[in-house]
Structure 1
Amino acid sequence: MKIYKSVSYIILLLFIASCKNQNKNEASGVAQENHEFTNDLINETSPYLLQHAHNPVDWKAWSDDVFKKASEENKLVVLSVGYSTCHWCHVMEEESFEDTEVAKLMNDKFVSIKVDREERPDLDMVYQTALQLVNGTGGWPMNAIIMPNGSPVFLGTYYEKEEWKNILVKFSTEYEKNPGKMAEYATMLAGGVQEVYDQPAKQLANAITPDKFVSGITEWSTIWDKQWGGNLGQQKFILSANLTMLLDYAVLQQDSEAENHVINTLDKVIHGGIYDHVDGGFFRYSTDNTWKVPHFEKMLYDNAQLVYLLSKAYKLTKNKGYKTKVEETLKFLKVEMRNEDGGYFSAMDADTNGEEGVYYVWKKEELQILLSEDFELFSKYFNIEDSQVWEDGNYVLNNTISKDKFLKEFDLSEEAFDKKKENWKSTLYQARQKREKPTKDYKILTSWNALLIDGLIEAYKAFGDEGYLIEAVSVFNYLQQHNYKGGKLVHSYTNNSEQKEVFLEDYAFLAKSAFALYEVTLDVSYLQISKELMKIGSEKYKSNSELFYYNVFSDLVPSIINTSDGVVPSANAIMAQNFLRIGHLEYNTDYLKKAEVMGALITSDFESHAVSYGAWGSLLLQQAYPFYEIVVVGNNAEHLMSEIHENYIVNSIIVGSTVESDISLFKDRFNEDETFIYVCQNNTCKLPVKTVFNAFEQMKAFGYKGFGYQN
Structure 2
Amino acid sequence: KFPMPAIWLFTLDYALLSKNEDLKEKVFFTLKKIGMGGIYDHLRGGFARYSVDGEWFAPHFEKMLYDNGQLVELYAKAYQVSGDHFFLEKVEETIAWLEAEMLQEEGGFHAAQDADSEGVEGKFYTWTYAELANLVGDELPWLNKLYNLKPNGNWEDGVNILFQTESYSLIASEFGMSEDDLKKKIKQVKNSLLEVRNQRIFPGKDDKILSGWNAIISSGLIQAYHATGNHHYLQLALNNLDFIKEKLYQKDLLYRSYKNGHHYTPAFLEDYSQVIKANLMAFEASGKLAYLEFAQKLSDYCLEAFYDESDGFFFFNNPKAEKLIADKKELFDNVIPASNSGMARNLHRLSIFTYEEKYGEVASKMLGGMKSLILKEPGFLCNWASFLLESLVPTAEIGILGKGAQEKAIGIQRGYQPNAIIAWSENMTETAPILSDKKPDSDGNALIYVCFDHTCQKPVSSIEETISQLPYLA
Given the two structures, how large is their TM-score scaled by the length of structure 2? 0.95
Partner of 2:362: 594
Query: How far has the Cα of 1:627 moved from its partner?
Result: 2.0
* Inter-partner Cα distance in structure 2 for 1:683 and 1:503: 33
Contact 1:281–1:328 (CA under 8 A) maintained in structure 2: yes
Identity over aligned pairs, percent: 34
Partner of 2:316: 550
Q: Does 1:678 align with 2:454?
A: no
* Inter-partner Cα distance in structure 2 for 1:653 and 1:631: 8
Contact 1:632–1:677 (CA under 8 A) maintained in structure 2: yes
Query: How far has the Cα of 1:354 moved from its partner?
Result: 1.5
Query: How far has the Cα of 1:665 moved from its partner?
Result: 2.4
Partner of 2:434: 665
Report the residue type matching 1:552 in the other structure: N
Q: Does 1:427 align with 2:217?
A: no
Partner of 2:391: 623
Match among 31, 50, 57 for residue 285 of structure 1: 50
Query: How far has the Cα of 1:304 moved from its partner?
Result: 0.6
Match among 449, 453, 456 for residue 221 of structure 2: 456
Contact 2:75–2:91 (CA under 8 A) maintained in structure 1: yes
- CA RMSD between the two structures: 1.6
Partner of 1:529: 294
* Inter-partner Cα distance in structure 1 for 2:283 and 2:416: 19
Contact 1:659–1:670 (CA under 8 A) maintained in structure 2: no
Partner of 2:107: 342
Contact 1:346–1:442 (CA under 8 A) maintained in structure 2: yes
Q: Does 1:257 align with 2:22?
A: yes
Report the residue type matching 1:423 in the other structure: Q
Deviation string 1:104-129 (CA, Å, 9 cap, x unpaired) is xxxxxxxxxxxxxxxxxxxxxxxxxx
Aligned pairs (5 A) from 1:607-618: 607-618=375-386
Partner of 2:13: 248
Q: Does 1:444 align with 2:213?
A: no
* Inter-partner Cα distance in structure 2 for 1:603 and 1:564: 13
Contact 1:305–1:452 (CA under 8 A) maintained in structure 2: yes
- SS of 1:435's equivalent? coil
* Inter-partner Cα distance in structure 2 for 1:396 and 1:364: 10
* Inter-partner Cα distance in structure 2 for 1:397 and 1:466: 31
* Inter-partner Cα distance in structure 1 for 2:204 and 2:117: 7
* Inter-partner Cα distance in structure 2 for 1:695 and 1:416: 39
Taking a change above 3 Å as real, the CA distance of residues 488 and 404 of structure 1, as seen in their structure-2 partners, is same
Contact 2:405–2:426 (CA under 8 A) maintained in structure 1: yes
Partner of 1:697: 468
Aligned pairs (5 A) from 1:114-153: none
Contact 2:75–2:87 (CA under 8 A) maintained in structure 1: yes
Report the residue type matching 2:219 in the other structure: D
Partner of 1:397: 162
Contact 1:381–1:401 (CA under 8 A) maintained in structure 2: yes
Report the residue type matching 1:629 in the other structure: E
Contact 1:346–1:445 (CA under 8 A) maintained in structure 2: yes
Taking a change above 3 Å as real, the CA distance of residues 282 and 662 of structure 1, as seen in their structure-2 partners, is closer
Aligned pairs (5 A) from 1:206-285: 236-285=1-50
Report the residue type matching 1:521 in the other structure: S
* Inter-partner Cα distance in structure 2 for 1:679 and 1:480: 32
Contact 2:289–2:431 (CA under 8 A) maintained in structure 1: no
When Rg is computed on C-alpha atoms for both structures, the one with the higher figure is 1
Contact 1:522–1:657 (CA under 8 A) maintained in structure 2: yes
Match among 504, 511, 518 for residue 283 of structure 2: 518
Q: Does 1:298 align with 2:66?
A: no
* Inter-partner Cα distance in structure 2 for 1:668 and 1:367: 63
Deviation string 1:45-93 (CA, Å, 9 cap, x unpaired) is xxxxxxxxxxxxxxxxxxxxxxxxxxxxxxxxxxxxxxxxxxxxxxxxx
Partner of 1:416: 181
Query: How far has the Cα of 1:323 moved from its partner?
Result: 0.8
Contact 2:345–2:387 (CA under 8 A) maintained in structure 1: yes
* Inter-partner Cα distance in structure 2 for 1:387 and 1:605: 50
Query: How far has the Cα of 1:599 moved from its partner?
Result: 0.8
Query: How far has the Cα of 1:292 moved from its partner?
Result: 0.7
Report the residue type matching 2:360 in the other structure: L
Unaligned 5+ runs, structure 2: none
Query: How far has the Cα of 1:662 moved from its partner?
Result: 6.1
* Inter-partner Cα distance in structure 1 for 2:243 and 2:417: 31
Query: How far has the Cα of 1:496 moved from its partner?
Result: 5.2
Report the residue type matching 2:243 in the other structure: Y
Aligned pairs (5 A) from 1:42-121: none
Deviation string 1:385-435 (CA, Å, 9 cap, x unpaired) is 258620110110001012222222211111211111011101110110111
* Inter-partner Cα distance in structure 2 for 1:624 and 1:310: 25
Q: Does 1:358 align with 2:123?
A: yes
Contact 2:317–2:327 (CA under 8 A) maintained in structure 1: yes
Query: How far has the Cα of 1:370 moved from its partner?
Result: 0.6
Contact 1:308–1:458 (CA under 8 A) maintained in structure 2: yes
Partner of 1:687: 458
Report the residue type matching 2:406 in the other structure: E
Partner of 1:654: 422
Deviation string 1:116-157 (CA, Å, 9 cap, x unpaired) is xxxxxxxxxxxxxxxxxxxxxxxxxxxxxxxxxxxxxxxxxx
Q: Does 1:504 align with 2:273?
A: no
Query: How far has the Cα of 1:484 moved from its partner?
Result: 1.0
How many residues were matched structurally? 467
Match among 572, 576, 580 for residue 348 of structure 2: 580
Unaligned 5+ runs, structure 1: 1-235, 707-711
Given the two structures, how large is their TM-score scaled by the length of structure 1? 0.64
Report the residue type matching 1:587 in the other structure: Y
Q: Which deviates the most, 438-447 or 560-569?
A: 560-569
Partner of 2:252: 487
Report the residue type matching 2:457 in the other structure: K
- SS of 2:433's equivalent? coil
Query: How far has the Cα of 1:690 moved from its partner?
Result: 1.4
Partner of 1:64: none
